[in-house]
Structure 1
Amino acid sequence: MNLDDFGDLIQRPDGSVRRGAEERRERTGLAPSALGRLDELAEWLSAAQSEVPVRPISRPKLVLFAGDHGVADLDVSARPAGSAGELVRAHLDGESPAAILARQHGVPTRIVDMSLDCERAGLPAEVTDLRVRHSSGRVDLEDALTLHETEQAVRAGMALADEEADSGTDLVVLGDLSVGGTTIAGILIAALCGTDASVVTGRGGAHIDDLAWMRKCAAIRDGLRRARPAMGDQVELLSAVGGADFAATTGFLLQCSVRRTPVILDGVVSAACALVAHRAAFRAPDWWLAGHASGEPAQLKALDRMGLDPLLDHGVTVGAGAGALLALPLVRSAAELAAQLPVREPESDASTAAGAAEILEAT
């Protein structure tokens, strides 16, 4: 598998349609800056849909890739290693912040088990079972996955993107349910941005203490040593220091871009996967929005590298797509305004000439 092949498959959103959306906006009579960034969002959506006026968002979907990571054994997270399954159950029980927001905004959720460290029989039937293995390897000592497992996970993510596109999903809200995931994200982003471990090490969604932060920084440093020899190939990189959920998310993002399905990214995990996908296909980020700034330093570095400006900055760190869900009403509002604001049709040459003749006759 060579992810670089996506570079030829992914095209940018239609530039001529975007110009048409801009021209339509100019005919509303509103001042050019009256709607601020909402205009930019509406024009982006219009180009993604290849339609003017833009269609309102009617079938969004929250997609969460779930997995445990062996690096959590190093106590780099406030949550115990192997407990991502509990996050899955909390979301399905409607008790997590993301579940409450998804319910509030009427957004259905799809949770995908890629590498949870629990028995399959203990998971609700609503979970999509594409598990590659129990947990991912401890990346400071060993590869996260075999190459075969990595390719399997990438292809699973691609197939899910096709399923969502074929079912009519018109906007994906992307998130993760993982333990140890922010550490993996830090390794990938530090490797791809060429920076040191301390620069990308944050406190995670559960706000770890200073000792845990130092352990996390050391784990990212050790993971970086293993990541650098694999920098020439994205699949090898994901195999060495990624994980099944990261590989699946990367494949999902790439195939969403192929299928012209726009995506709102959540926190540092989705940003890391997006950065890997961006390395394979430089046009892919044109199909993504950064939902919010989570405060994780690695996320900000990744978004800056891809040229993505977060829509919101409220310091939300709970993950599971919560920050991206908060950005969804903004995107929906932009589409509704662009679709419903009345426009002034330009006067024809004949009517303009007739008006001028009447003025001359009156004088």
Structure 2
Amino acid sequence: MKINNKEYKITSVDKKAEALCQKRWDSIAKPLHSLGKMEDYLVQTAGIIGDVNVKFDKKALIVMCADNGVVAEGVTQSEQNVTAIVSENFLSDKATAAILCRQTGAEIFPIDIGIAVDTKLENHKIAYGTRNMAKEPAMTREEAERAMEVGIQKVAELAGKSYKIIATGEMGIGNTTTSSALASYFLNEDVEKMTGRGAGLTSKALEKKIAVVRKAIEDYSPSFTDAVDALAALGGFDIAGLAGVFIGGAIYHIPIVMDGFISTTAALTATRICPECADYIMASHVSKEPAAEKILAALGKEAALYCDMCLGEGTGAVTLFPILDLAVEIYEQMSTFEDIDIEAYVELK
């Protein structure tokens, strides 16, 4: 596939490694499949990395931070300056996601991919925020592809440093509006069913948000030739960057963990651009946003956690990390049926 005039090769996951990992799970002295998704995540990872020796000793969270011009339409409770303030908090362990990373042994990588002011974050700014999609397409196609390239290259960098798993997060006032637009378009669902209150809106403001999303889809979608066109017109730099992270996971064979609504929308976007990357994506939790379950279903993913979380930043994705670490400990250390000399469980028909 080609993004930003660069060719990338994506190969299939290793089904033999998946089968061998499942065989190891089935040899462990417990009822078959009794650890549910803890087993499934490791089997998926074995296929991704092509090795039954699954490790998550180096974990990362990539947080794409950007502003969205559509906030000018009054579709958010917070002012645009909140994006920069919260984003820089990631650097001082004061933000929720940063605290969770510290507690779970993960490293956080916040990226300024399009904040409206200059920041102290790692700088990959495409522009100082997107355009107002109520007035014109949010990005050009070239800008969207450049943003995706930022995500791909960040995965390449972390892969080169032996990171074993990457969680996805975002920060950007107005990005539930852009996510609702993309999710509604890609799933061909009524905008009202896919648009929630985000960080908090009055009923009147929610009606305005729905109207803005509906009109943008009506205005721009007739000219779309592919998913990148949709991303450019309706999305944001944060979503485009995260779409690149999901595609990068498939290119460099690293599992990528989805977070909540914005992150899953980015994953949906990535799979519409590159269907093969779906096998490299893990679900963490189910967001409270109304579109969340529909997006997971469209991706064929089942989340492990139902915590009623809707914060973003990668908080749900990072919360999955301790569960994965526990799964690895059992996988590596628990006795097998042969070790304790008892008859193994068998699949019953």
What is the TM-score when the length of structure 1 is the normalising length? 0.88
Equivalent in the alignment of 2:32 = 32
RMSD over aligned Cα, in angstroms?
A: 2.2
SS in structure 2 of the partner of residue 108 of structure 1: strand
AA of the residue aligned to 2:78 = R
Question: Which residue of the partner structure matches residue 41 of structure 1?
Answer: 41
For 1:228 and 1:146, the matched residues in 2 are separated by: 14
Task: Using the TM superposition, name which of 73-82 and 226-235 deviates more.
Answer: 226-235
Q: Which runs of no fewer than 5 residues in structure 2 stay unpaired? A: 340-349
CA displacement, residues 18-52 of structure 1 (integer Å, 9 cap, x when unaligned)? 11111122221211133222111221122222222
Counterpart of 2:166 in 1: which secondary structure? strand
1:268 is displaced (CA, Å) by 1.1
CA distance in 2 between counterparts of 1:302 and 1:98 reads 23
Greater displacement, 220-229 / 138-147? 220-229
Pair 1:143 & 2:137 matched: yes
* Amino acid corresponding to residue 155 of structure 1 in structure 2: E
Pair 1:190–1:4, CA change in 2 (3 A)? farther
Contact 2:41 2:282 (C-alpha < 8 Å) held by counterparts: no
Q: Is the 8 A contact 1:7 1:283 kept in 2?
A: no
Q: How far apart in 2 are the matches of 1:162 and 1:8?
A: 12
The secondary structure found in structure 1 opposite 2:170 is strand
Report how many residues are paired.
339
In 2, the alpha carbon distance for the partners of 1:77 and 1:302 equals 22
Aligned to 1:354: none
Give runs of ≥4 in structure 1 deviating > 6 Å. Answer: 4-8
**Matching residue within 269, 272, 289 for 2:265:** 272
Match in the other structure for 2:247: 254
Contact 1:10–1:281 (8 Å) recurs in 2 = no
Larger Rg: 1
Matching residue's letter, 2:158: E
Task: State whether residues 284 and 316 of structure 2, in contact with CA within 8 Å, keep that contact through their aligned partners in structure 1.
Answer: yes
How far does residue 270 in structure 1 lie from its aligned partner after superposition?
1.2
Shift of 1:302: 1.5
Cα distance in 1 between the residues matched to 2:318 and 2:334: 25
Partner SS, residue 275 of structure 2: coil
Aligned position for 2:333: 340
The aligned runs of 1:225-244 (5 Å cut-off) are 225-244=218-237
Does the CA contact (< 8 Å) of 1:76 and 1:215 recur in 2? yes
- CA 5–287 in structure 1, closer or farther in 2 if over 3 Å, else same: farther
Letter of the structure 1 residue corresponding to residue 254 of structure 2: T
Provide, for residues 124-151 of structure 1, a one-character-per-residue CA deviation record: whole Å limited to 9, x for no partner: 2xx2101011110111111111222222
Q: Structure 2: how far apart are the matches of 1:167 and 1:147? A: 31
Q: State the AA in 1 paired with 2:73.
A: L
Report the counterpart of residue 345 of structure 2 in structure 1: none
**Over residues 81-114 of structure 1, what are the superposed CA-to-partner deviations in whole Å (9 max), with x where a residue is unaligned?**
2431011123223222212111111211101111
Give the TM-score, by structure 2 length: 0.91
CA–CA distance in 1 between the matches of 2:309 and 2:262?
Answer: 14
Match of 1:353 in 2: none
SS of 1:315's equivalent in the other structure is coil
- Aligned partner of 1:181 in structure 2 is 175
2:301 partner SS = coil
- For 2:63 and 2:131, how far apart are their aligned partners in 1? 21
**Distance apart, 1:188 and its partner CA:** 0.4
CA distance in 1, matches of 2:273, 2:223: 14
Distance 1:5 1:116, change over 3 A: closer
Counterparts in 2 of 1:58-77, with a 5 A limit? 58-77=57-76
For the structure 1 residues 186 and 329, does the alpha-carbon distance in structure 2 shift closer, same or farther, using more than 3 Å as the test? same
275-284 vs 256-265, greater mean Cα deviation = 275-284
Q: Percent identity over the alignment?
A: 24
What is the rounded CA distance, in whole Å, between the counterparts of 2:276 and 2:141 in structure 1? 26
- The alpha-carbon distance between structure 1 residues 6 and 132, as it changes in their structure 2 partners (threshold 3 A), is closer
The residue aligned with 2:85 is 86
